[in-house]
Amino acid sequence: EIVLTQSPGTLSLSPGERTTLSCRASQSLSSSYLAWYQQKPGQAPRLLIYGASSRATGIPDRFSGSGSGTDFTLTISRLEPEDFAVYYCQQYGSSPRTFGQGTKVEIK
């Protein structure tokens, strides 16, 4: 099974700042089958990015994804108050699908 390791565990930031979240896979992901999800407290996760870099429907362009092989990043260009949440990466190129452990983006 592919293990996804996210870093850092927690980011303390202020609104307006730019941030980059990392996701590293234990083996190369076929065809960049990597997605990112956002989860706020008490809510279900929401799909942000698929195919490593494609934004899902309705996702603002301040969210961007990049990477290939084993190293992937999610960048939020300018943090809005509603962006403080937990972010998970997930691979879907290999069975079983797996998630990273999450990165919490909190208000400084």
Partner 1 sequence: EVQLVESGGDLVQPGGSLRLSCAASGFTFSTFAMYWIRQAPGKGLEYVSAISTNGDITDYANSVKGRFTISRDNSKNTLYLQMGSLRPEDMAVYYCAAGNAVFDYWGQGTLVTVSS
Q: Which of residues 29-48 bind partner 1 (CB under 8 A)?
A: 33, 35, 37, 39, 43-47
Q: Which of residues 71-90 bind partner 1 (CB under 8 A)?
A: 88, 90
**Is residue 53 involved in binding partner 1 (CB under 8 A)?**
no
CA separation for the pair 9, 106 (Å, rounded): 11
Residue 74 · residue 7 · CB < 8 Å: no
**Is residue 22 involved in binding partner 1 (CB under 8 A)?**
no
- Nearest to partner 1 of 34, 79 (CB atom): 34
Interface positions with partner 1 (CB under 8 A): 1, 33, 35, 37, 39, 43-47, 50, 56, 88, 90, 92, 95-102
